[in-house]
Structure 1
Amino acid sequence: MSFDFVPQRNTVVSYHKIKTDQREQVKDEREMMIKISVGKDKIYTISLWLQLILSYITCIQKTAILSIWKINLKP
């Protein structure tokens, strides 16, 4: 008795379905990676803007302190 493996239709279809599911999963993972990288870029630009604003505020504070100092030093 010889047992020749004859793939039935449903195994081929299930294999095809597994392959397409894997492709879709890879596509979803790529989209997620793109979303994450875009999110990181947004966070990075927001942090840069915050740094700029904070440095501007500290600069204003320093100049205000210096001007108050000058006023107090005047006889």
Structure 2
Amino acid sequence: MKGRIPARFAPILFGGMLSIIMVSIISAVVLVVNQGITPDFAIRWLKSFLSTWPIAFPTVLVIAPLVRKCVVYLTTDS
């Protein structure tokens, strides 16, 4: 299928997608809890997202393989 991303990039794509989803949800929830929904919520959320995603993305890339190894260690096929 044309236009698909090669499988070798799957871990990076996974990290990018997961971190975008997580940061989007968490930054919105934190803003609502701490400041409420105000007329400038979208701008404040975007600023929060843009300042935290560059931290979350590489963190997911580093942590996800370690978590996978822990899960394999802690689980069984029984």
TMscore range, shorter length = 0.3 to 0.5
Structure with greater helix share of residues: 1
Larger Rg: 1
State the structure with bigger RCO (CA 8 A, min sep 6), 1 or 2: 2
TM-score normalised according to structure 2 size: 0.34
